[in-house]
Amino acid sequence: MKTIDELLAEGVSGKRVFVRADLNVPLDGTTITDDGRIRAVVPTVKALADAGARVVVASHLGRPKGAPDPAFSLAPAAARLGELLGAEVAFATDTVGESATATVAGLSDGGVAVIENLRFNAGETSKDDAERGAFADRLAALADVYVGDGFGAVHRKHASVFDLPARLPHAAGYLIATEVGVLKKLTDDVQRPYVVALGGAKVSDKLGVIDHLLEKADRILIGGGMAYTFLKAQGHEVGISLLQEDQVPAVLDYLKRAKERGVEFVLPVDVLVSDEFPDLKTKAPANPTTVAADAIPADEEGLDIGPETRKLYASKLADAGTVFWNGPMGVFEHPDYAEGTKAVAQALVDSPAFTVVGGGDSAAAVRILGFDEKAFGHISTGGGASLEYLEGKTLPGLAALED
């Protein structure tokens, strides 16, 4: 995989460099609530601009249905990128139309432009190779060189991620190089004990990674909504908690295999419950109660791990050599259910281990709960991409950069 440093050594002054970034940031209207992904691409964009390239930044945002939708415009992300760069960033109001063509043509050496949301064009995500390829052809006309730096999208076989690199000289940006280096430490160069903390809503989202980690990890901690399917598999009442009944057989198999392989599976011993889901907008007090994990009332739902589980999980993380954490322990967006996620994050901060926060909601939680990002070994920008890499899958966006 060619690196951006090699590309810079060859010279990029005056060349149009297409940077496939991941600017898929959360928005409250037009206000960005977490700019972590934008900050992550700044080193690549700045290095190219400083070298005299004419930088064309492209990304998706949200899930528009292949047509323009103002709610998913990249305009706020473009403005924030300009603030972070300390330079003007031009913005094209389409992807490959008149505005994009004119905006790119108007760039001078060292200039930066962002084109509109790639998913406003149905060709970006099409499963039809010809349709996707036709869109990639039009994107290729905007550039001379391709730099892949949108790690959060490399697990997608999309036009700008998979097809476009085949049409242009290409290299990996700093973010992708960093992400891949970190993930190799979680697969090929693991310092033990290797402890994995998994949370989030659904067991089904983590099936592949759990299956693969049973061969790699020494200890797996389970929290979040997915914990209740594990508790159900053990025969416990879970009330109206989030439950994937169809995944109980798979969970039973994981528990059996873990025992056979000597992998320690750690489940909550107590949980915070309530008879109603909290209001995440007003943050009104929820007044949860704490019950043993095997004594959840039939008319209540678990919304966070309890105080004894927090202590237990902290102790299970304390002696780790490597930690990978993906998925919050509860409804961290509400202060009454944030303590479980906060406890796991603090345990990673306190640990001397190499700690990796696996993107998605975990990365958002770290920032929302006020932790210093530098206190962790690495905070990934790609939750889904990280999980698929750890499953051992071939990621289309990485494969496209290798030649």
Tens of pLDDT, residues 312-334: 999 999 999 999 999 999 999 99
Q: Which of 37, 132, 219, 232 is labelled catalytic?
A: 37
The count of other CB atoms within 10 Å of the CB of residue 315 is 11
pLDDT at residue 202 in the model? 83
0.75 exceeded by pTM: yes
pLDDT at residue 203 in the model? 83
Is 360 in the active site? yes
Q: Which of 2, 202, 311, 367 is labelled catalytic?
A: 202
- Give the mean model confidence (pLDDT) for residues 365-394: 89
Tens of pLDDT, residues 50-69: 999 999 999 999 999 999 99
- Give the mean model confidence (pLDDT) for residues 16-38: 94
Question: At 191, is the pLDDT very low, low, confident or very high (cuts 50, 70, 90)?
Answer: very high
Binding site members for substrate? 22-24, 37, 60-63, 119, 156
Is 123 in the active site? no
Tens of pLDDT, residues 247-300: 999 999 999 999 999 999 999 999 999 999 999 989 999 989 999 999 999 999
Binding site members for ATP? 206, 302, 333, 359-362
pLDDT at residue 228 in the model? 97
pLDDT at residue 206 in the model? 85
pLDDT at residue 189 in the model? 80
Type of residue found at 166? A
Q: Which of 152, 360, 382, 383 is labelled catalytic?
A: 360
pLDDT at residue 314 in the model? 97
- Give the mean model confidence (pLDDT) for residues 233-260: 95
Is 384 in the active site? yes
Is 199 in the active site? no
Tens of pLDDT, residues 201-215: 888 888 888 988 998
The count of other CB atoms within 10 Å of the CB of residue 361 is 20
| Residue found by looking up tokens 């060189």 in the block | 145
Q: Which of 36, 382, 384, 397 is labelled catalytic?
A: 384
